[in-house]
A = this chain, B = another copy of it.
Amino acid sequence: MKVVFQQLDVRTSGRKELVDLTDRIEQVVEESGLKEGMCLITTLHTTSCIIINEHEEGLMQDIVAKLRTDFPNDGKWLHNRIDDNADAHLASSFLGPSKVLPIRDGVLVRGTWQNIFLMELDGPRKRTVLVELLGN
């Protein structure tokens, strides 16, 4: 059994935005030479998350709009006494920091429309995403 790690550095440019990491993650899988196993993608922060969905510009704006509506930063949060990003922590808590996908026949298994994004919730920042592959 083989375990491979690859750290991805991501610089975000807006407060809330989606950054597509699919190509970079597929390259990690390809270069690893792994034939079958699992791929764990995890962000090492409490104000971002990893989500999987279609890379369509309208939808990507919809996701940001929905997060702004569902997790407003309206000042009533206790965490905002010491910082100003409770909205981002709450969204990250609910959506989660990681996703796991299969590796099969040497490639990452994903549906036609399934792209992998870092969801920035409190940018702009420099983010670290860790990709771990485990398998044969």
- Contact residues of A with B, CB < 8 Å? 1, 3, 5, 36-38, 40, 42-46, 51-54, 56-59, 61-63, 66, 70-71, 77-82, 86, 89-90, 92-102, 104, 109-114, 128, 130, 132, 134-136
Is A90 in contact with B66, judged by CB distance below 8 angstroms? yes
Is B53 in contact with A46, judged by CB distance below 8 angstroms? yes
Give the number of times this chain occurs in the complex, counting copies.
3
Is A102 in contact with B52, judged by CB distance below 8 angstroms? no
Interface of A is mostly: mixed
Interface centre among A37, A93, A98, A135 (most CB of B within 10 A): A93
17 A-B contacts (beta carbon < 8 Å)? A3-B36, A3-B37, A5-B102, A38-B132, A42-B100, A46-B113, A46-B114, A51-B94, A51-B96, A53-B93, A54-B89, A58-B77, A58-B80, A61-B78, A70-B70, A98-B100, A134-B135
Is A101 in contact with B42, judged by CB distance below 8 angstroms? yes
Contacts of A78 in B (CB 8 A): 57-59, 61-62
